[in-house]
């Protein structure tokens, strides 16, 4: 009966939507619970003694092009899983594996067909959906009993904000896949071109426009097809780490889909604020002057980045890891052929630019209600936090990070750990530039800093030129070196709304964002006048924006 209904629903879904996006829906015939559980149902507690007995938890994993398996290893059998089994007695199995691009879609199908593995990574909307549908476990007790003090401290470093977003009616429903929310964007400029054209470093937004125009008209790359700035087809999405325009908006004190307080203390959505209009006007002017690639609307990041690699463009906004992308063009035949500088996002007027940031969590790990060993999942969490943050890893911990050879060889074995959380706070910006500048590793405090320091040093002492990017991220004038000032002066703006989507949001968000993208793009591409923005504001309100604003403020009243 269960199977029948599943087939029926999947088929109905496919039939009605008319989409065959499911790809290889080769769901294995499975009895929904982990096979070995029958014999071990009694092992519910997590005493030290129980650790000798191996428990099994299932999950779903993302395969990644950057993950390079050692000979003979795979998602089914690898040294990382073996190490976890050996150290904490948890055997990891994969119910399915999908590559990065398909993973999110596959998660949706998995939820729709009610076939969750023991634990799974989902987004905020799905967390709420699964909670309401009663498909996932209340983790309050399991977490309380099994998480180590270190884990608990680690996940509340931000004052408990991220854990709060995973809590519904006082029940912890997921483990935030947390990261540091203080992830800023920066402006990256070809400094060799600035020198060549005798231009000053960008201090204001006007400087940026001047530089972009000079790069266009003087064509320092000598390609014959220069543009001012690199922009790709989803410039407003948070996922667009390089070639986006969020930072550009921020420079005009405009923000992308963020809830901020107005003068009277109510929350308003940033997408309809007048500052956006100014930013769009500026972008339209740039487009008219030919500073923006006219085809940006159909080019994804990688395609647009070719313009950076090939010396057509020398100006781009991006996250701190942007240098890793730029490296493809900057390093050729063992030589640095492009010189890049990193600058904080300049401002259009006297007041400093506020970097827009989120809460630091987009995804959550949830545990299926049918899971036999939720404590195994928490043990994985404990172990990951230990392994990822130790300065002096043991052999087993090295295996978990690097595979059986126990040393970094660029195969990204850390991607095999099925449950990963990042630090909610770091002081890389204070420590790293100093340490690298003075070549003094003694002040390093975390494993992450140690790794970065070692990479940067390899570039500096000339042993590995390909580590160029790390120096541009962490070095004395690197991206993170700007962080202390931004943090100290609070030059950032955090989204004030961090709840699950409100009812109207669930219904209308998609419509509003699409409408917004359409009108923003048309204005930038000079297809319509910038005054269309005012019309859009009216429509936004009418199409459910006002309703959402009301709901968000009701939420805000109880969460101030």
Partner 1 sequence: MHVLARLWKREWPLHLMLLPGIALVLIFSYVPMAGIVMAFQKYIPNKGLFGSPFIGLKNFRLLIDYPDVGRVFVNTVYIAAMKIAAGLIVPITIAILLNELRREWIKRTFQTLVYLPHFMSWVLLSGILVDVLSPSSGVLNQLLGYFGIKPIFFLGSNDWFPYVMVISDVWKEFGFGTIVYLAALTAIDPSLYEAAAIDGAGRIKQTFHVTLPGMMPIIVLMFTLNIGNVLNAGFEQIFNLYSPPVYQSADIIDTFVYRMGVQQAQFGFATAVGLLKSIVSFIFISMSYILAYRIANYRIF
Q: Given the rule CB under 8 A, which residues bind partner 1?
A: 5, 7-9, 11-13, 15-19, 21, 105, 108, 111-114, 125-126, 129, 132-135, 225, 233, 293-295, 297-299, 506-507, 509-511, 514-515, 517-518, 520-522, 525, 527, 539, 543
**Sheet of 315-319, strand order:** 315-319, 185-190, 340-344
Nearest to 151 by CA among 352, 368, 381: 381
How far is CA 182 from each of CA 307, 344, 348, 486, rounded to the nearest angstrom? 29, 14, 22, 10
Nearer to partner 1 among residue 507 and residue 531 (C-beta): 507
Q: How far is the CB of 510 from partner 1 (least distance, A)?
A: 5
Q: How far is the CB of 539 from partner 1 (least distance, A)?
A: 7
Q: How far is the CB of 313 from partner 1 (least distance, A)?
A: 13
Angle at 123 between CA 119 and CA 127, to 5 degrees: 65
Nearer to partner 1 among residue 1 and residue 263 (C-beta): 1
Q: How far is the CB of 32 from partner 1 (least distance, A)?
A: 11
Q: Phi and psi at residue 368, in whole multiples of 5°? A: -65, 145
Pairing of strands 331-332, 335-336: antiparallel
Q: How far is the CB of 67 from partner 1 (least distance, A)?
A: 23
Nearer to partner 1 among residue 68 and residue 237 (C-beta): 237
- Please say whether the beta carbons of 453 and 435 come within 8 A: yes
Torsion sign over Cα 529, 533, 534, 538: positive
Q: Round to the nearest angstrom and report the end-to-end CA distance of the chain.
A: 48
- Please say whether the beta carbons of 208 and 191 come within 8 A: no
Q: How far is the CB of 520 from partner 1 (least distance, A)?
A: 7
Nearer to partner 1 among residue 313 and residue 400 (C-beta): 313
Q: Looking at 337-441, which runs of residues are DSSP E strands?
A: 340-344, 355-357, 363-367
Nearer to partner 1 among residue 464 and residue 507 (C-beta): 507
Nearer to partner 1 among residue 17 and residue 263 (C-beta): 17
Nearer to partner 1 among residue 233 and residue 423 (C-beta): 233
As given in the structure block, the two tokens for residue 206 are 């006007």
Rounded Cα distance, 173 and 162, in Å: 12
Q: How far is the CB of 79 from partner 1 (least distance, A)?
A: 35
What's the gap between Cα 507 and its chain centre? 24
- Please say whether the beta carbons of 396 and 83 come within 8 A: yes
**At what angle are helices 374-389 and 447-460 packed, to 10 degrees?**
40
Give the DSSP letter string of 74-132: -SSS-HHHHHHHHHH-EEEEEEEEEEHHHHHHHHHHHHHTT---SEEEEEHHHHHHHHH
Rounded Cα distance, 86 and 293, in Å: 54
Nearer to partner 1 among residue 16 and residue 198 (C-beta): 16
Torsion of CA 456, 461, 462, 465, to 10 degrees: 0
Q: How far is the CB of 219 from partner 1 (least distance, A)?
A: 14
- Please say whether the beta carbons of 188 and 326 come within 8 A: yes
Q: How far is the CB of 230 from partner 1 (least distance, A)?
A: 14
Rounded Cα distance, 525 and 504, in Å: 31
Nearer to partner 1 among residue 283 and residue 467 (C-beta): 283
Q: How far is the CB of 181 from partner 1 (least distance, A)?
A: 24
Nearer to partner 1 among residue 153 and residue 514 (C-beta): 514
Nearer to partner 1 among residue 107 and residue 416 (C-beta): 107
Q: How far is the CB of 36 from partner 1 (least distance, A)?
A: 24
Q: How far is the CB of 310 from partner 1 (least distance, A)?
A: 12
Q: How far is the CB of 269 from partner 1 (least distance, A)?
A: 18
CB neighbour list of residue 506: distance below 8 Å, 6 or more residues apart: 125
Q: Is 277 helix (H, G, I), strand (E, B) or coil?
A: helix
Nearer to partner 1 among residue 207 and residue 234 (C-beta): 234
Nearer to partner 1 among residue 91 and residue 515 (C-beta): 515
Nearest to 162 by CA among 387, 360, 26: 360
């Amino acid at each position: 009966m269960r199977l029948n209904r599943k087939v029926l629903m999947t088929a109905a879904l496919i039939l009605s939507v008319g989409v065959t996006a499911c790809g290889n829906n080769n769901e294995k015939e499975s009895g929904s619970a982990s096979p070995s559980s029958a014999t071990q149902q009694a092992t519910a507690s997590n005493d030290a003694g129980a650790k000798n007995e191996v428990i099994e938890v299932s999950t779903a994993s993302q395969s990644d092009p950057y993950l390079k398996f050692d000979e003979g290893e795979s998602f089914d059998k690898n040294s990382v899983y073996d190490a976890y089994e050996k150290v904490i007695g948890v055997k990891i199995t994969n119910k399915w594996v999908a590559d990065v691009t398909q993973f999110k879609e596959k998660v949706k199908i998995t939820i729709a067909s009610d076939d969750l593995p023991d634990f799974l990574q989902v987004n905020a909307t799905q967390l709420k959906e699964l909670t309401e549908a009663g498909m996932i476990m209340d983790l309050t007790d399991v977490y309380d009993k099994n998480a180590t003090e270190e884990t608990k401290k680690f996940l509340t470093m931000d004052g408990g904000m991220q854990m709060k977003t995973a809590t519904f009616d006082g029940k912890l429903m997921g483990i935030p896949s947390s990261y540091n929310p203080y992830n800023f964007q920066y402006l990256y400029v070809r400094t060799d071109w600035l020198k060549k054209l005798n231009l000053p470093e960008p201090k204001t937004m006007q400087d940026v426009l001047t530089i972009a125009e000079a790069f266009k008209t003087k064509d320092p790359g000598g390609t014959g097809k220069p543009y001012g700035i690199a922009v790709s087809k989803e410039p407003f999405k948070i996922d667009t780490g390089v070639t986006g325009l969020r930072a550009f908006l921020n420079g005009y004190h405009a923000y992308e889909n963020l809830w901020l307080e107005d003068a009277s203390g109510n929350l308003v959505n940033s997408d309809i604020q007048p500052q956006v209009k100014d930013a769009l006007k500026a972008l339209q002017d740039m487009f008219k002057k030919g500073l923006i690639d006219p085809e940006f609307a159909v080019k994804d990041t990688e395609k647009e980045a070719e313009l950076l690699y090939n010396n057509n463009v020398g100006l781009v906004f991006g996250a701190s890891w942007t240098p890793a992308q730029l490296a493809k063009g900057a390093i050729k035949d063992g030589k640095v052929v492009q010189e890049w500088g990193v600058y904080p996002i300049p401002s259009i007027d006297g007041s400093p630019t506020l970097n827009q940031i989120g809460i630091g969590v987009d995804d959550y790990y949830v545990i299926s209600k049918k899971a036999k060993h939720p404590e195994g999942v928490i043990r994985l969490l404990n172990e990951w936090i230990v392994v990822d943050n130790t300065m002096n890893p043991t052999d087993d911990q090295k295996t978990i990070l690097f595979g059986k050879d126990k040393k970094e060889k660029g195969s990204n074995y850390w991607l095999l750990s099925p449950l990963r959380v990042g630090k909610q706070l770091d002081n890389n910006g204070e420590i790293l530039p100093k340490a690298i500048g003075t070549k003094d590793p003694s002040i390093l405090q975390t494993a992450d800093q140690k790794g970065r320091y070692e990479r940067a040093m390899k570039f500096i002492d000339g042993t590995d030129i390909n580590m160029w990017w790390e120096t541009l991220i962490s070095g004395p004038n690197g991206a993170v070196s700007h962080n202390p000032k931004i943090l100290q002066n609070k030059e950032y703006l955090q989204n004030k709304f961090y709840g699950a989507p409100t009812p109207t949001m669930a219904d209308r968000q998609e419509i509003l964002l699409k409408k917004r993208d359409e009108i923003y793009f048309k204005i930038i591409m000079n297809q319509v006048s910038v005054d269309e923005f005012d019309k859009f504001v009216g429509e936004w309100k009418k199409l459910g924006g006002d309703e959402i604003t009301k709901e968000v403020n009701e939420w805000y009243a109880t969460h101030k």
